[in-house]
Structure 1
Amino acid sequence: MQEAVNKIKIVDAGALTPLCDFLQLPDSILQEYAAASLLTLSASTPNKTTICSAGAIPLLITALTCGTPQARIDAASALFNLSTLPENLSPILNSHPIHPIITLLKSINKSSKTAEKCCALIESLLCFHLSTAAAALTSVEGGVLAVVEALEDGSVASKEHAVGALLAMCQTDRSRYREVILNEGAIPGLLELTVQGTPAAQEKARNLLKLLRESPRPRTALQADTLENVVCGIVSMIESVDQTGVAMAKKMMAEMVQVSMEQSLRHLQQRAFFARSDL
């Protein structure tokens, strides 16, 4: 309690102005101290509005973009803290954070606390304003793939936020983002979540699988090993399996994951081939 009071007193004493000034200096040590200080102060709810009003958000995103590795981590964590106040989401999104967040997420351990905060921030921004945030995410090379990798290799929290981000995209504009998500090989991670995720993550994964399953195309036009049929089989099995069929279900799931991985590999090979052809 006393620590929270002290953080408020520091802000009330006028600490934000010099901290924002330090963030803009070319001295990397001062930048790191400033980012770390703003991270500490942003953990206090009463400070979040004041920090935003002081103009710190664009400066934190600049530090996230071109700061030292430690400054980038602290800036991302501070932005996450600020994003938990709904009225701060608009100024954060307007400062174009998606690209540097994804760049950081690509470079760090997907099970780290920083990755959890990056995934949570991405999910919050997508849920706040899907069209703007999703356009930014898909414009970054490997942006959706980074979220899928967090879905597969992240901590429990990272996985839940990652699937929430993908679900928000598909729920809001399925026709645009369904193939994008499928083509990045999300099925194995989603399948694992339906079995091993938190209750919230399991529900999100099931809902996303249902959205990925549905297609306006006639099913007879699909080959037996297409991702469409893989998803259909997974969802049907999830909806119908009971405890007596768990062993068989696991075997079927493993086979479906293998097919999905083969599909994803072929997709990546084709993408690499076309990339070489363009050279």
Structure 2
Amino acid sequence: MGQEEQSTVGVEEEEEEERHEISESWSQRKQTLILEISSKLINGDLEAKIEAARDIRNLVRKSSSSSSSSSSSAAKTRLKLGASGVIPPLVTMLVSPNPDARQASLLALLNLAVRNDRNKVKIVTAGAVPPLVELLKFQNGSLRDLATAAILTLSAVALNKPIIAASGAAPLLVQILSSGSVQGKVDAVTALHNLSSCKDNATPILDATAVPPLINLLKECKKYSKFAEKTSALLEILSNSEEGRVAISNLEGGILTLVETVEDGSIVSTEHAVGALLTLCESCRDKYRELILKEGAVPGLLRLTVDGTAEAREKARILLDLLRDSPQEKHLASSVLERIVYDIATRVDGADKAAETAKRLLEDMVKRSMEHSMSRIQQRAASCTPSNIQST
């Protein structure tokens, strides 16, 4: 038995040495390939440049699957390619009249930018944003989708955000929310979400024209998804302007969609949705109170005062106070939740039986809230699938 164990150990050592030799050999070939690619992009004709751009994509993808430490290998490959001078000629190819050149360069730049902030900054510094914005205007779905993905990827870096925000990309991304492919819409929302977090923006990147497509997308998606979180965040931002508030309230299902997000959303999307509703009601209680009540907002807001985040609970309490008939009137009930239920009970059974009815309503609401929360947890567990950004 001991001899067998020694024999097995020897075989494992030989296999490890062989893997090491293969890895070293691949690294040497890769370095040679990088030099060849750089030379073709800088000095070659258009066909050679297209071939080199495609080689970049293939090289990064091969690095991603070449070893158990593929993530590290791909990262090193991106870093070495970025340092080899390939980015400026790739950016120049974005304005080529040849569609193959544009597509090949877009794919190469995307693969260089993924998970590499240094390359993202280099790409923007090399002047990629204006041609990418022009590509967002294309009717060619494939090129427009790739340009949208590139804007999304580049906008993830703080240094790039003000440059992209000032480029005129935002209105074109808003158009994609209505007319783009499914993936294009997802990427456009995420890009707009990235840009909206830029504090250096001189003017807001969104106006009221973004409300209809955002409401429609939020209406159609799962309210607890990451996509809903970003969409509801953008709507909360838009609710800060009078034009945005009018657009939300005038659009059929606008307020209802926010109410449904309060009821069924994730912790994040719920917080944004209640924030948008609160902003509406605070801006003009007389105008928005009835509109919000008509859509049945109270049950979701009551639940939120129990199981929301600290900020969401506070927003829900303030909004519930604004939704009452007489927000300044003092009641014997000590909490906002009890005051609201007491108001409802008074209207249902009269002042004499209000206290007893309110107690029953509170008990029923707590029970329903717990059942609803458990149902949402089960739904999320059943539908949740991990997603990782892969090389294009």
Superposed pair shares fold, TM > 0.5: yes
Deviation string 1:151-208 (CA, Å, 9 cap, x unpaired) is 1111110001111111111111111100111001111110110001011111111111
CA distance, structure 2, for counterparts of residue 30 and residue 187 of structure 1: 46
Structure 2 residue aligned with 1:62? 175
More helix by share: 1
Structure 2 residue aligned with 1:267? none
Kindly indicate whether residue 218 of structure 2 is the aligned counterpart of residue 105 of structure 1.
Answer: yes
Letter in 2 for 1:180: L
Percent of pairs with identical residues = 47
When residues 250 and 145 of structure 1 are mapped into structure 2, their CA distance, relative to the original with a 3 A threshold, is same
1:116-195 equivalence runs, <5 A = 116-127=229-240, 129=241, 131-195=242-306
Kindly indicate whether residue 213 of structure 2 is the aligned counterpart of residue 213 of structure 1.
Answer: no
Superposed displacement of residue 94, structure 1:
3.3
1:238-253 equivalence runs, <5 A = 250-251=362-363, 253=365
When residues 80 and 155 of structure 1 are mapped into structure 2, their CA distance, relative to the original with a 3 A threshold, is same
Superposed displacement of residue 16, structure 1:
1.1
Deviation string 1:247-272 (CA, Å, 9 cap, x unpaired) is 96741536999xxxxxxxxxxxxxxx
CA distance, structure 2, for counterparts of residue 191 and residue 144 of structure 1: 17
Q: Is contact 1:58-1:95 (8 Å) kept?
A: no
Deviation beyond 6 Å, 4+ runs, structure 1: none
CA distance, structure 1, for counterparts of residue 238 and residue 201 of structure 2: 10
Superposed displacement of residue 107, structure 1:
1.4
Q: TM-score, normalised by structure 2?
A: 0.55
CA distance, structure 1, for counterparts of residue 326 and residue 302 of structure 2: 19
1:30-45 equivalence runs, <5 A = 30-45=143-158
Q: Is contact 1:111-1:154 (8 Å) kept?
A: yes
The secondary structure found in structure 1 opposite 2:206 is helix
Deviation string 1:33-54 (CA, Å, 9 cap, x unpaired) is 1111111111111111100221
Structure 1 stretch displaced more, 149-158 or 3-12: 3-12
Structure 1 residue aligned with 2:192? 79
In structure 2, stretches of 5+ residues that fail to align are 1-78, 80-115, 330-338, 346-358, 370-392
Structure 1 residue aligned with 2:120? 7
Structure 1 residue aligned with 2:103? none
Superposed displacement of residue 233, structure 1:
5.1
When residues 108 and 155 of structure 1 are mapped into structure 2, their CA distance, relative to the original with a 3 A threshold, is same
Among 315, 319, 336, the alignment partner of 1:204 is 315
CA distance, structure 2, for counterparts of residue 86 and residue 39 of structure 1: 17
| Structure with larger RCO (C-alpha < 8 A, sep 6+) | 1
Superposed displacement of residue 32, structure 1:
1.2
CA distance, structure 2, for counterparts of residue 92 and residue 139 of structure 1: 22
Among 340, 343, 348, the alignment partner of 1:232 is 343
Query: Aligned residue pairs: how many?
Result: 235
Letter in 1 for 2:319: L
Largest Rg, 1 or 2: 2
Q: Is contact 2:341-2:361 (8 Å) kept?
A: no
Deviation string 1:204-259 (CA, Å, 9 cap, x unpaired) is 1111100101438x9xxxxxxxxx9757359xxxxxxxxxxxx96741536999xx
